A and B are shown apart, each in its own frame.
Chain A
Amino acid sequence: MSAKKIGVYICQCGGNIGDYVDVDEVVAAVAKEPGVGVAKTAMFTCSDATQSEIIADAQEQGLDGLVIASCSPKLHTYTFRDVARRAGMNPFQYTQVNVREQCSWTHTDDHEGATEKAVRLVRAGINRTRLTEPLEPIVVETTPKTLVVGGGIAGLRAALGLAEIGLAVFLVEKEPKLGGWVAGFGEMYPHGRNGAELIAKLEQKVRSHPGITVFTRAELIAKSGSFGNYEVTVAIQGEQLETISTVVGSIVIATGFDTYHPAEGELGYGLDGVITIADFKKLLDSTDGPLEYNGRPVNTVAYIYCVGSRQGEDVEGGNTYCSRYCCTAAVHAATMVADLPARVHQYHFYRDMRTYGKFELLYAEAMEKGSAFVKFPDDEPPAVEKDAKTGGITLTARDLLSEGEEVALTADLVVLVTGMVPRENEGLTKTLKLPVGQSGFYNEIHPKLRPVETVVDGAFICGACQAPRTSSESVASGLAAVTQSAAILKRGFAELDPLVATVDTDACTWCGACETTCPYDAIARESHDGKEIAVISRTSCKGCGGCVPVCPSDAIDLQGYTDAQIKSMIDGMLEVVCA
């Protein structure tokens, strides 16, 4: 039965929508549309209060269809399907209308145009909803196994968490050894723990857990199947290349980061005595006496911050983001230097100091232990040159903390405080079809609400493959991926959207065009009431709709996107808007 009485809720999203779209005008314009039972605005439709209000309205008014005009369907489709379900409606008789990303935010320059467009979009949504039919999700059994890609600190901790919760784990690491970057670190902030020792303990637990199978020098090369039951193929480089395949219910991606490599000549990089923070950390971890570099004593260290981070739009392929961890890494290194037996003068040339949260204490400690800080203007990084006479390196910069006075000094060692960059992972990105964000890291669905989920169902991201992170933040997100995996797989079954293709048995005359076009073997010929027709398997159909335009008899519809619905949306978008 098509939806007859529809509730329409227009969200203001604080001011994100309400500042640009006149939501009251939208309500006034759509309230009298056929089938609309309730039309209202809300400050935040996703809030508990509005959710309760929708449920109360539905019960009082007997609503059987729901239209939410708020943000992108990527954010709250599941939230409102759940609201519909709790309100006694069918979740598939709800339509999400995107009036934020595709309306208010993109027409901040045209309030009138944005309001008119919102009315049109909402009308299209109402028309679509009117033609919805109640649908039930397709239930599939899930495989209680997870593939973890990447054996750094996030992947190791995730693997252990998954195994402890009772899921079988395949851990795949590209390198010959587990542990990633952290395995190469000595003392780490904020607790002074030794990275190599942490990893050794974690690796021992992972390797001895009967539920975890570890493959090193191994890479995921293929993925097929669907959510809950992905068939994955892993290539393992041994004496000869081997491939193995298995079925897993979910995939956790923890492939980590790479460090920024400065270009030759960038802030003196390439000169003897100019190194990155990553190399400096290695030097410190192997130093217990006086600090030396290439056999020469180091009495003065100068740090230059934000190298390869927060680059301007004018830098070709530049990194506009802040790597977040590097300020703290630099002040932490400075405290380690200060604790060495011989006194070293330390100067920090920075743009802004972002030792967020409790890392402020490390910044304070670095200052207390004698580090001096010079704040240079964003567009005037220090000039770095080799001093031919002394063999040292001179730095010249303007210091904004002393009214722009020029500061010049000679250092024995210059440390470029470099950030994290996304790792080159094209093969994996393509295999899993993972979305990559503007900065090149993998993208979650929502930074706050769905922070480890991706648009690929059952594929979770964690650690520094998602964004620059500290090791403890990486572990926290690894454990979030564990919880999300377990939430799906421990139930034993998953519910898939029933938005699959269906055949009108009266219209179908079996020509075989749809069967030929479907790469998933979801369509077969069957006898029905004495004639041959196409039948589509609900569990094999992926819901792409590729067969829809192929049918010469117009006998195939994709649920949720039927011919009648799309045409009704076009109609709704073109109706006259009365102010």
Chain B
Amino acid sequence: MTEAAAPEGQPYDPRILVFSTNNISDPGIDLAGSSHMHYSPRVMVINLPCTSAVKPGWIVYAMEQGFDGVFIAADGEECAYLPDCAQRTSGIMQTAQDLLVEKGFEPQRVRMAAICSVCAEPFTKYMHEYATALSGLGPSRKATS
């Protein structure tokens, strides 16, 4: 059972799914927590070894299930696995955007930025900014009744 979509036009706090990386961006997000920086509890993180492993289909799936946006916390040039990780991830994001548009979602529902292992403040700021931007778009699943 998944949650009912929020009725259109009502103010809402968007749900954001973050894909982070075990060694670089996840420690940065951890640091935001250990520094008691605040962002919405509707932000949830799934960590992977490298964001080059994110399937564009997962982003569409997240939207269909009820997330309002996906944020890819990529490694930039710091990735221990793939030196062209940022390029790969932005390719994944573009494919995901095309898929989203095909399914009737706005392409802005996926966003990426490089988050380093001490990027606590930038991450927190991104979450606030992205939540504001997504609020402008409204919920991903519009109410049907």
Q: Does B bind A?
A: yes
* Least Cβ–Cβ distance between A545 and chain B, in angstroms: 3
Return chain A residues, CB-CB under 8 Å to B95: 549
Q: Is A519 an interface residue (CB 8 A)?
A: yes
Most buried by A among B29, B56, B120: B29
**Given the known A-B contacts A73-B47, A545-B52, A549-B53, are A106 and B82 also in contact in the complex, defined by CB atoms under 8 Å?**
no
Q: Is the CB of A570 within 8 A of B58?
A: yes
Cβ-based interface call for B102 (8 A)? no
Complex Cα gap A98–B57 (Å): 25
**Minimum CB distance partner of B29 in chain A:** A102
- 0/1 interface trace, chain A 60-83, chain B, CB 8 Å (1 if under): 000000000000111000000000
Contacting residues, chain B, for A114 (C-beta < 8 A): 41
Stretch at the interface among A158-166, A432-440, A464-472: A432-440
Which A residues are CB-close (under 8 A) to B26? Answer: 72-74
Query: Among residues 95 to 135 in chain B, which have CB atoms less than 8 Å away from a CB atom of chain A?
Result: 95, 117-118, 120
In Å, the complex CA distance between A234 and B65 comes to 52
Check A519 against B82 for contact (C-beta < 8 Å). yes
Contact B46 A569 (CB under 8 A): yes
**Residue A290 at the chain B interface, CB threshold 8 Å:** no
B61 A570 Cβ-Cβ under 8 A: yes
Cα of A120 to Cα of B95 in the assembled complex, Å: 28
Distance in angstroms from B119 CB to nearest chain A CB is: 10
A436 to B39, CA, bound (A): 24
Nearest residue, chain B, Cβ from A501: B53
Task: Provide the residues of chain B in CB contact with A558, threshold 8 Å.
Answer: 48-49, 53
**Pairwise interchain contact A570-B82, C-beta atoms closer than 8 A:** no
Interface presence of B66 (CB below 8 A): yes
Q: How far is the CB of B105 from chain A (nearest CB, A)?
A: 15
Q: Are B32 and A106 in contact (CB under 8 A)?
A: yes
Q: Which of A107, A433, A455, A549 has the most CB of B within 10 A?
A: A549
Known: A105-B34, A435-B117, A571-B2. A455 touches B23 (CB 8 A): yes
**Contact residues in A for B31 (Cβ distance below 8 Å):** 101, 438
Residues of A within 8 A of B61 (CB): 567, 570
Residue pair A436, B117 in contact (C-beta under 8 Å) = yes
Q: Are A544 and B81 in contact (CB under 8 A)?
A: yes
Identify which of residues 531-568 in chain A touch chain B, using a CB-to-CB cut-off of 8 Å: 542-546, 548-549, 554, 558, 561, 563, 566-567
Partner of A101, one of B2, B33, B78: B33
Contact B37 A106 (CB under 8 A): yes
Interface string of B17-54 (1 = CB under 8 A from A): 10000110011011111101111111011111110111
Contact of B88 among A546, A554, A574, A576 (CB under 8 A): A546
The answer, yes or no, to whether A41 is at the interface (CB within 8 Å) is: no
B41, A566: Cβ atoms closer than 8 Å: no
Contacts of B37 in A (CB 8 A): 106
Residue of A nearest to B88 (CB): A546
Residues of the A chain whose Cβ atoms lie less than 8 Å from the Cβ of B47: 73
Interface status of B92 (Cβ within 8 A of chain A) = yes
Q: What is the distance, in angstroms, from B38's C-beta to the closest C-beta of chain A? A: 5
Q: Are A98 and B41 in contact (CB under 8 A)?
A: no
A106 to chain B, nearest CB (A): 4
B41 touches A561 (CB 8 A): no
Give Cα A113 to B118, complex, Å. Answer: 25
Instruction: Decide if A575 is an interface residue (CB 8 Å cutoff).
Output: yes
A105 vs B34: C-alpha distance when bound (angstroms): 6
> Does A264 sit within 8 A of B, measured CB to CB?
no
What string of 1s and 0s marks CB contacts (under 8 Å) between A423-444 and chain B?
A: 0000000000101111000010
Contact B80 A433 (CB under 8 A): yes
Contact A548 B36 (CB under 8 A): no
Q: Given A455-B23, A570-B61, A574-B65, does the pair A546, B36 have CB atoms closer than 8 Å?
A: no
A108 within 8 A of B: yes
The 8 Å CB contact of B117, one of A108, A443, A542, is A443
Q: How far, in whole Å, are A566 and B45 apart by their CA atoms in the complex?
A: 11
For B56, list chain A residues within 8 Å (CB). 549
Across the interface, name the chain B residue whose C-beta is closest to A121. Answer: B44
Contacts of B50 in A (CB 8 A): 544-546
A456 at the interface (CB under 8 A from B): yes
Which residue of B22, B49, B53, B65 has the most chain A CB atoms within 10 A of its CB atom? Answer: B53
Contact of A106 among B1, B17, B38, B46 (CB under 8 A): B38
Other-chain contact of B49, A438, A443, A499 (Cβ < 8 Å): A499
**A330 lies within 8 A of chain B by Cβ:** no
Chain B residues lying within 8 Å of A437, measured Cβ to Cβ, are 118
Q: Do the beta carbons of B78 and A433 come within 8 Å of each other? A: yes
Residues B48 and A573 in contact, CB atoms below 8 Å apart: no
Chain A nearest CB, measured from B40 CB (Å)? 7
Measured in the bound complex, the distance between the Cα atoms of B30 and A103 in whole Å is 9
Q: Contacts A101-B34, A570-B65: A436 and B118 contacting too (C-beta < 8 A)?
A: yes
In-complex Cβ contact of A544 among B33, B39, B82 (8 A): B82
Q: Which of B23, B38, B67, B118 meets A109, CB within 8 Å?
A: B38
A574–B3 CB distance below 8 A? yes
B136, chain A: closest CB distance, angstroms:
22
Which residues of chain B are near A121, meaning CB under 8 Å?
A: 44
Q: Once bound together, how far apart are the Cα atoms of A481 and B31, in whole Å?
A: 25
A 108-120 to B, binary, CB cutoff 8 A, 1 in contact else 0: 1110011011001
Q: List 25 A-B contacts (CB under 8 A).
A: A73-B47, A102-B30, A102-B45, A106-B38, A113-B42, A117-B42, A435-B117, A436-B117, A443-B117, A455-B117, A499-B49, A542-B81, A544-B82, A545-B49, A545-B50, A546-B85, A549-B56, A558-B49, A561-B49, A561-B53, A566-B55, A570-B46, A570-B58, A573-B44, A574-B65
Given A117-B42, A570-B58, A574-B15; 15 other pairs, CB 8 A cutoff:
A72-B27, A102-B33, A113-B41, A117-B41, A117-B44, A121-B44, A438-B120, A544-B82, A549-B92, A549-B95, A566-B58, A570-B17, A571-B2, A574-B3, A575-B3
* B interface with A by C-beta (< 8 Å): 1-3, 15, 17, 22-23, 26-27, 29-34, 36-42, 44-50, 52-58, 61-62, 65-67, 78, 80-83, 85, 88, 92, 95, 117-118, 120
Interchain residue pairs A-B with the least CB separation, the first 4: A545-B53, A113-B41, A544-B81, A101-B33
